[in-house]
Amino acid sequence: MLSLFPPCYLHTMDSTITPILDGKNLAQRIQTELQQQVEQLQGKFGRPPGLAVLMVGDNPASAAYVGNKEKACTKVGIASFGKHFPTDTTQSELEQVIEQLNQDEQVDGILVQLPLPEHLDAVTLLHKIAPDKDADGLHPVNLGHLVRGEEGLRSCTPAGVMRLLEEYKIDLKGKHAVVVGRSILVGKPLALMLLAADATVTIAHSRSQDLSAITRSADILIAAVGRPEMITADMVKPGAVVVDVGINRVTDKTGKSRLVGDVHFDSVKDVAEFITPVPGGVGPMTVAILLQNTVQSYIRTMNS
């Protein structure tokens, strides 16, 4: 499929040009397409898709993420059933809410916003979500479908990365992809998706020996470790495609804060063939796939 918008280029001080993998632009287009789809389907089915995002506590980053998701729902035409709970909410209270949402015919997707307060068991809560309403694609049933190469809801961030690579026609067949990070949220499912696209995949992590040698061997380098700017130019093969999944807030000496990724953008942009910015790269794609998963669940439910 041809891209409907040209690559965005970053002009550097030495007049070289680094193409940017523009997740913000692509996510906006996906949302527009979903909006048109939802308008048509709502007339057919008699109700809009519904998404419930559960947030516990007052984490500022989580509040910003939830706010962005709710705004995106409004834009697309998805009914938002967001629920905000105080920090001292108990495990059993949340499990009861999830069970109620599982039975609610107006709700097609359920997402538990992470991280949760320490006294809560996130894994158990995720397992309580009905697999068909698992908008974040993290239920063991959906992860099992991914392992087996079967249809199912996919983890939002990894699926967003794959969609972004597809849009810019990044050839993965036979290429060496290195994923730095082994979380169940990103690293492991993304490695499986890359394997399904015929890439040769290495998963690196904090215990990997000579990490720089591993990353320098990558044609496709994906950083998903949550450590600000740890991937530097000397760790990147010239001409590699670099995808930065990290979103970290750092504060400078003046007290001013800003968002940075796991990649040292200013140095790596001069080495890479393509690179994602932070913000504006993978983050918007995660939200777009969340909405896409919700609409997919909605269609399957209404047609069953």
| Secondary element (H or E) of residue 261 | none
User: Is residue 245 packed enough to be buried (19+ CB in 10 Å), middle (13-18) or exposed (0-12)?
Assistant: buried
| Torsion-angle region of 152 (φ positive above 0: left; ψ -120 to 50: alpha; else: beta) | left
Which residue among the candidates 69, 128, 133, 269 is catalytic per the annotation?
Answer: 69
Contacting residues for 22 by C-beta, under 8 A, at least 6 apart: 5, 7, 8, 277, 280, 281
CA atoms within 13 A on the CB side of 106: 8
Is 113 a residue of the active site? yes
Establish whether the linkage from the previous residue to 7 is cis, with ω within 30° of 0.
Answer: no
- Going by the DSSP 8-state scheme, the letter that residue 263 receives in this structure is B
In the set 31, 108, 113, 133, the catalytic residue is 113
58 catalytic? Reply is no
Binding-site positions read 181-183, 247
Binding-site residue set for NADP(+) = 181-183, 247
d(CA 75, CA 72): 5
Cα–Cα–Cα angle for 97, 58, 156, rounded to 5 degrees: 65
Task: Please report, as a single letter, which amino acid is at residue 101.
Answer: L
Catalytic amino acids?
69, 113, 136
